[in-house]
Amino acid sequence: MRRVMIQLEQVHKHFGQLKVLNGIDLEVTKGEVIVIIGPSGSGKSTMLRCVNGLEPIQKGRIIIEGDDITDPKTDQNKIRQRIGMVFQSFNLFPHRTVLDNVTLAPIKVQGKKKAEAKQIGEELLVRVGLADKAKDYPDQLSGGQQQRVAIARALAMQPDMMLFDEVTSALDPELVAEVLNVMKDLALGGMTMLVVTHEMGFAREVGTRLMFMDEGVIVEEGDPRKMIADPQEERTKKFLGMVL
Amino acid sequence: MGQFGRYYFNWDILRDTLPELLKAVVVVVELLVFGLFFAFILGLLISLMRISRVRIIRWLAAIYVDFFRGLPLLLLLTFIYYGLALVGLQTGLRFLILPPIPAAVVALSLCYAAYSAEIFRAGIESIHRGQMEAARSLGMTYGQAMRFVILPQAIKIVIPPLTNELIAMIKDTALASVITTPEILFRAREIMGVRANPTPLTAAAIIYLVFTIPLIRVAARLEKKKGSPGTPAGM
Ligand SMILES: Nc1ncnc2c1ncn2[C@@H]1O[C@H](COP(=O)(O)OP(=O)(O)OP(=O)(O)O)[C@@H](O)[C@H]1O
Ligand SMILES: [Mg+2]
């Protein structure tokens, strides 16, 4: 059955005078992998941050699995537990070991027993290929490894959907693939994903929809392969010409 | 040495004075333990208020910090000991009459809470905001993110400046002598009066330096090797 996971209705967001999102409509159903591209400053990060309530919006509605996060009665902390987020700069907790990074939220937020959280955490580290790094500290890992830990950390909350904000942009080129592979596995496993990236290979391979954003609006969207091969809008053509 | 030694390093007086002053060290330790405890608790609370999203709360915290940073500690001590007691005696509000040690603890705590608040705030603000975002995105509340992610990292950063606070506070306990707290300087002056010789001051100086110099060294070393905020202990 078609299940709507994320719904944005005419979302407007501005920082003071600066209008960043100018009426975004978006509907993401279960298992979709939406790839979002667009020039710097077009509002991609801001949109992701609005989706899990890290940024408040000024107008419109954001509905996560039926819960309106713009409703003051909604407990945003509860909603965020269902939305994993991975950042460009990893943001691992440097004072905690890799395994502790992964188990912290399940223990403190979900109230899981230490042993149970540890077991889930170790399984996730196996899944991202870092079982042997459990006792290391983040600064002992390469960027690619840190980012895979960050993905494991988000997955440990057993989220229903995941947001990725340019998670490979800070990585050396030879480390990009290891992170993308983890993301591809996730996508193929049926995870609902919103992915801001300029990795067109990823968009072609596992993206179910490609979206081009500019100046706070969605300019064009469609099937990734079709859109990359034959963009309709002038601005999309220009942008794709630059990144391909 | 000659005359100078007779007055300032009078061996007999030094020998008699040191054990007396060591008893006063207990009072100083008491002032420090309670003073630091309340100063850090209150300071942490004020630093959190200082970064609150609610403007009024931020203002209240800023007013507190400016007020107590701007006042001479000596005035504060005098007010809390004599100023309150005077009113207490005249109105019968006996809770206003504080013995010297509690009065000194209150004054030191209020004053040092303001300094610690600024140190804690700087420590918290030095943690990259991505840490708070990552914690919140995992579903942690603001309080949980502070407690499990931000503060543990900030603590490491504030240890060197807090060591400097401790050194300053050790020296400031001497101000409590003006409200008859039987601490080191107060006792040294008493003995000086009885023996008509300033050697007790020398004894007091030795005791202060025995405490402060190692701490000054420690603070200097901590500051020098202040690694990245994330460097785990033992690395
Ligand atoms: N907290 C903030 N306060 C003020 N302005 C902000 C804030 N966050 C973002 N902006 C501004 O909003 C605009 C959109 O930023 P955003 O980070 O969403 O763009 P982006 O599409 O993710 O760009 P990039 O590709 O560079 O990451 C930019 O002009 C940015 O400067
Ligand atoms: Mg961005």
Place of tokens 């992170």: A179
Percent of chain A with pLDDT over 70: 100
- Interacting residues of B215 by C-beta distance below 8 A, sequence separation 6+: B163, B166, B167, B170
3-state secondary structure of B23: helix
* Position B231 pLDDT exceeds 60: no
State the pLDDT at residue B1.
55
State the pLDDT at residue B233.
38
State the pLDDT at residue A227.
95
State the pLDDT at residue B70.
96
Q: What's the whole-model pTM score? A: 0.89
Say how many C-beta atoms besides its own lie within 10 A of residue B50's C-beta.
Answer: 21
Nearest CA to ligand 1 atom 3: A15
Average pLDDT over residues A155-167: 97
pLDDT in tens, B100-112: 999 999 999 999 9
* Position A1 pLDDT exceeds 80: no
Average pLDDT over residues A156-164: 97
Q: Measure the CA–CA gap between A58 and A77, rounded to whole angstroms.
A: 20
Mutate to test the interface with B, among A45, A78, A91, A92 (most CBs of B within 10 A): A91
Residues of B in contact with A87 (CB under 8 A): 130, 133-134
CB-nearest to B137 from A54, A92, A93 is A54
State the pLDDT at residue B224.
82
Closest CA to B50 of B117, B145, B142: B117
Give the CA distances from residue B2 to residues B5, B10, B179, in Å, rounded to whole numbers and listed in that order: 5, 10, 36
B107 min Cα distance to partner chain A (Å): 35
Say how many C-beta atoms besides its own lie within 10 A of residue B86's C-beta.
Answer: 13
Long-range contacts of B25-29 (CB under 8 A, 24+ apart): B25/B184, B25/B207, B27/B101, B27/B181, B27/B182, B27/B183, B27/B184, B28/B170, B28/B173, B28/B183, B28/B184
Complex ipTM: 0.94
User: What tokens does A116 get?
Assistant: 């149970």
Place of tokens 């601005």: A235
Domains of chain B: 8-226 (1.10.3720.10)
Average pLDDT over residues A124-140: 96
CB-nearest to B153 from A89, A95, A157 is A95
Sign of the CA dihedral A81, A84, A89, A91? Answer: positive
Answer whether A15 contacts ligand 1 (Cβ < 6 A): yes
Percent of chain B with pLDDT over 70: 95
* CA of A8 relative to ligand 1 center, distance in Å: 19
Indicate the pLDDT class of residue B5, thresholds 50, 70 and 90. Answer: confident
Q: What is the mean pLDDT of chain B?
A: 92
Q: Measure the CA–CA gap between B137 and A55, rounded to whole angstroms.
A: 11
Instruction: Enter the DSSP assignment of A223.
Output: -
